[in-house]
Amino acid sequence: MNFSMLRSLFGGKPASPALSSSSAPLTPEQKRAADLLHAFLEGNRENGVTYWCVPRDTVVGAAILALPKEEQAQVVEAILPQIAGLDRRLADLRSKSAAASPSHRKEKEEMWHPRQQLNALLEALLRRKLPLLPATICGMAAWLAEQRYLQTFSYPLGGFVATVENRARQGAG
């Protein structure tokens, strides 16, 4: 299934609000979701989680997974621009340095570790039947389509497929 098929199936637009760099003020729900993500990453850092985590095994991750589905969908909306932004910064770093200098390795780790933690949380959330907007699903498809090397360890492919399947079962409405 290609991106245009997804867009027609779900009625979404090519660009998702979740992936845009809009400077519009955050709604209270968006602010709460952003604050939860900050607490998730900060809690992981404080507890010595540097790379990968199982969200349900962290205090904030478990709290996010216990939220009502509508609020979990808001967290997905908040994760997408952060993880896409980290991907762009990592790609930029890779393009600047073929040789991995110690400073580039440190800079990469400072981006890669939170990126992978966000990926783990996104995967866990996408496996649930959340009320995601069609534009969000299409935005995720566009984000994934931009990636050079898709692999399940670095991208929430299983969760994305589950989301598409769940949405298809619900119908395009």
Spell out the domain ranges in the chain: 3-16+27-170
Per-residue model confidence (pLDDT) at position 55 = 94
Pair of tokens at residue 43? 């809690």
Which residue intervals of 11-156 are DSSP H helices?
28-46, 59-65, 69-96, 102-126, 134-146
Q: Is the pLDDT of residue 7 over 80?
A: no
Report the first-to-last Cα separation within the chain, whole angstroms: 19
Query: How far from chain centre, in Å, is Cα 146?
Result: 14
Residues in the chain: 173
pLDDT in tens, 10-27: 444 433 434 545 567 889
Q: What mean pLDDT is predicted for residues 96-114?
A: 77
**Per-residue confidence at 79, pLDDT binned at 50, 70, 90?**
very high
Model confidence at 119: pLDDT above 80: yes
Cα separation, 143 vs 136, whole angstroms: 10
User: CA-to-CA distance for 53 and 118, rounded, in angstroms?
Assistant: 9
Angle at 19 between CA 63 and CA 84, to 5 degrees: 75
Give dist(CA 149, CA 127) in Å, integer. 22
